[in-house]
Amino acid sequence: MMILATAALLLGSAQIAQAPTAPSQTIANRGPCLDSPKQVPNVIGQPFARESEIVRIDMVVSTRTFMPNEVIGFLYTRQDGQTYLGTRTTPYTSPAGAAQLNAVLASTHTPGTKTEFPPETRMGVKTKGPPFMAVHIPSSSWGPLAIQVAPCVSWPSGAALPDPT
């Protein structure tokens, strides 16, 4: 009986040792931004090419909410330098955070883009609005907008981006 228990213990520890220790590619590419809808290096915007691939994700953190360091959205930087603002994934978006993110978007959006994030569904019907908006957020506007931009994950500099097709 003792030999059987020892064998089971050794077999169990061998299986644990063989378990993969590295996180999945999806989680690794989101870093601490696990609730970010996009990951590094995903294409965002047009054209569908390498220069449109995301090389950096930053967290947009509110400095005015009751919860310290509440993430209200994400700032995506493409290889060509264009930045896009996006909300958190639906289960993590609060109405207060969405309202503040819309205020950030209204004052920093690039001309020709909508100035409000559309809801993903309206009365149970999916909307077709764009989930990411082109923006330019200068650091001088962080104070008046009551936000901070904190690094989250980035593609290693010098590493070649994969072919998006």
Going from N- to C-terminal start, the domains of the chain cover 25-154
Q: Residue 77: is its pLDDT beyond 90? A: yes
**Token code pair at residue 2:** 């003792």
Model-level pTM greater than 0.85? Answer: no
Q: What is the pLDDT of residues 83-129, one digit of tens each?
A: 999 888 777 777 777 788 888 888 888 877 766 676 666 666 777 76
Q: Which residue's structure tokens are 């590493």? A: 159
